[in-house]
Structure 1
């Protein structure tokens, strides 16, 4: 922290100071003394009057000058200069040791926005809501617990799109989640393309943002349907994910469906069977992940809590001691001494 071994003796003389950020600036300490002794004295350039008693007058002036110079207390200016040099070198102290968290995961969230996500067969706060609204509420709570992770958001319908690349800014991810609506990516469901795009971004996306190869990479995919669109077969996409070291947790979300009749929601038995649970289970098994089935909001919240437990967020990082600046104290002292020296000189002249 000191930057040079020669400064250690000086640091030991300053109580409460652990070092300097710019110790080389302390080399300026002897500059006023060097200037005083090495530079030639200033000579007057005004007109002079030759008198026969010039030598005696010079002796009188010399004696007066010596007396006056001693009365201006130059030691105040010297002390101010020393403090100014110390402030310029930026004295610092070490704060208490802290252990910052390290990111536990590279986590991508994939959310189905196909037309079936508008099915109003969920309950949230005692009122009926559609599947997407319920999923958003649970995902928002999940994001609150992922401090330390780099999280990205991907949505898919007929096509798959990345709304938020991997980032530590969870507030941006949450805002993009709020703005997502059914049909934004099309009315169909491209599960395979969603997995393929997520793997590409977790490996190092087209935007040039590389992921940390030492960090676990996880995809959490939520859907309420079957693969009806896209170019990539879901199980083939799962193989690509496994080769890239991406673990995929799949969530089949949806109730039994409902039919709106005169303002009432009537259940439709068999509507929930449209979810391709076998394919989602195969994707999870091929990548070392888990398959989950959620039929209501409470089950979905429990699933994300379980994923939160399976994928720990943070581990303690290397302990560090922050550097705290203390230049303000010597700088204030230098200013006070300079003002005192100026006031002293004016008082002597008065």
Structure 2
């Protein structure tokens, strides 16, 4: 019984197996001329017997082992031509369905050590970054990009399906690289510019911040209005406890941004809540898969082909040795 993962791509090839036998029956035999030995009394013998000279030919016949070798070679050749292969388990091919942009605040306030991870106090940014690594890893199928902002907003990673690169670029970012203040409107505008330069229509932005907008160039709600016109959905995440004295989180603005663009607002007071938020975003924006399946294939045609060539070489070698042996015996008999 053949294993479940063994397949033959072209099984109809084996219908050609009787073809040599059909040709053997239909085509005339190959006649080969052989040299004749003339002796002095040849003409007298013809006159005495009344016979007439005629041309002769030798029809060579193969023995059983020759026929067996030819049949095996033809069968192995057909086996190679049928393309046998080992087929792996089917895998769903992930479809690139949207541009997913992470826009993260790296202003000085993200350096506060008021979050706890594994029983230790850590900076807000370190906790956010750690959980963001897991989130990015799960988003296979989206083309992801990174924008970091504070006083200024800059593109850390353009849209790409290479999530390992995005993850590496995230790891290299740190607090203070974009300034000290928080300019949410400028960050949204930078994200819209990235979306405008791409052709994928589904556009999702995840905006994380722990502060209140301090910019004057682009106000947050103006940026949200531009995002709405450009069909960009924004999920906003507020970092920190708005009831604590060290927090200046503007929840109202983040809620309005989410409502205007068709997204949703989340509050993450600690790392555990942020992890739950990432899980919720995964449900709201699930990964889509293509209908077609990808199955890894390992071709095996070279094995029967190599066996056919090896058998042909061996049969030819044996035939040559048998021929030499017969000639040697004939010479000994003549002597």
Q: Which TM-score applies when normalising by structure 1?
A: 0.68
Q: Give the 3 Å change call, closer, same or farther, for CA 230–89 of structure 1 in structure 2.
A: farther
The aligned residue for residue 19 of structure 1 is 10
Whether contact under 8 Å (1:113, 1:157) holds in the other structure is yes
- Measured after TM superposition, the shift of residue 197 of structure 1 is 2.1
Whether contact under 8 Å (2:188, 2:220) holds in the other structure is yes
- Consecutive unaligned residues of structure 2, counting only runs of 5 or more, are 1-5, 28-36, 43-53, 326-335
Q: Give the 3 Å change call, closer, same or farther, for CA 83–122 of structure 1 in structure 2.
A: same
* Structure 1 range deviating more: 330-339 or 118-127: 330-339
3-state secondary structure, aligned to 1:275: coil
- Measured after TM superposition, the shift of residue 319 of structure 1 is 3.8
- Measured after TM superposition, the shift of residue 158 of structure 1 is 2.1
Note if 1:178 corresponds to 2:178.
no
Distance 2:77 2:193 in 1: 56
The aligned residue for residue 301 of structure 1 is 275
- Measured after TM superposition, the shift of residue 310 of structure 1 is 1.8
3-state secondary structure, aligned to 2:126: helix
The aligned residue for residue 201 of structure 1 is 194
- Per-residue CA deviation, residues 134-184 of structure 1 (Å, 9 max, x unaligned), is 111221222233233322222112222222222332222222111111111
Taking only aligned residues, the RMSD between alpha carbons, in angstroms, comes to: 4.2
- Measured after TM superposition, the shift of residue 339 of structure 1 is 3.2
The aligned residue for residue 270 of structure 1 is 245
Distance 1:170 1:204 in 2: 20
- Measured after TM superposition, the shift of residue 113 of structure 1 is 1.1
The aligned residue for residue 306 of structure 2 is 332
Whether contact under 8 Å (2:102, 2:207) holds in the other structure is yes
Distance 2:270 2:7 in 1: 60
Selected match of 1:284 from 258, 279, 287: 258
Query: Counterparts of 1:145-294 in structure 2 under 5 Å?
Result: 145-205=138-198, 210-211=199-200, 213=201, 216-229=202-215, 231-255=217-241, 269-272=244-247, 274-294=248-268
- Measured after TM superposition, the shift of residue 344 of structure 1 is 1.7
- Consecutive unaligned residues of structure 1, counting only runs of 5 or more, are 1-14, 38-50, 258-268
- Per-residue CA deviation, residues 14-53 of structure 1 (Å, 9 max, x unaligned), is x953339xx9xx9xx99xx9xxx9xxxxxxxxxxxxx986
Whether contact under 8 Å (2:268, 2:274) holds in the other structure is yes
* Structure 1 range deviating more: 82-91 or 138-147: 82-91
Q: Which TM-score applies when normalising by structure 2?
A: 0.71
3-state secondary structure, aligned to 1:300: helix
Distance 2:306 2:126 in 1: 58
Distance 1:103 1:120 in 2: 37
Distance 1:121 1:96 in 2: 47
- Per-residue CA deviation, residues 280-332 of structure 1 (Å, 9 max, x unaligned), is 12111110111122222222222222222222223x43143747434234323
Distance 1:344 1:81 in 2: 18
Distance 2:303 2:131 in 1: 51
Whether contact under 8 Å (2:101, 2:146) holds in the other structure is yes
- Measured after TM superposition, the shift of residue 128 of structure 1 is 1.1
3-state secondary structure, aligned to 1:235: helix
3-state secondary structure, aligned to 1:202: helix
Whether contact under 8 Å (2:107, 2:178) holds in the other structure is yes
- Measured after TM superposition, the shift of residue 96 of structure 1 is 6.6
The aligned residue for residue 48 of structure 1 is none
- Measured after TM superposition, the shift of residue 81 of structure 1 is 6.8
Aligned residue pair count: 296
The aligned residue for residue 46 of structure 1 is none
3-state secondary structure, aligned to 2:274: helix
Distance 1:95 1:18 in 2: 14
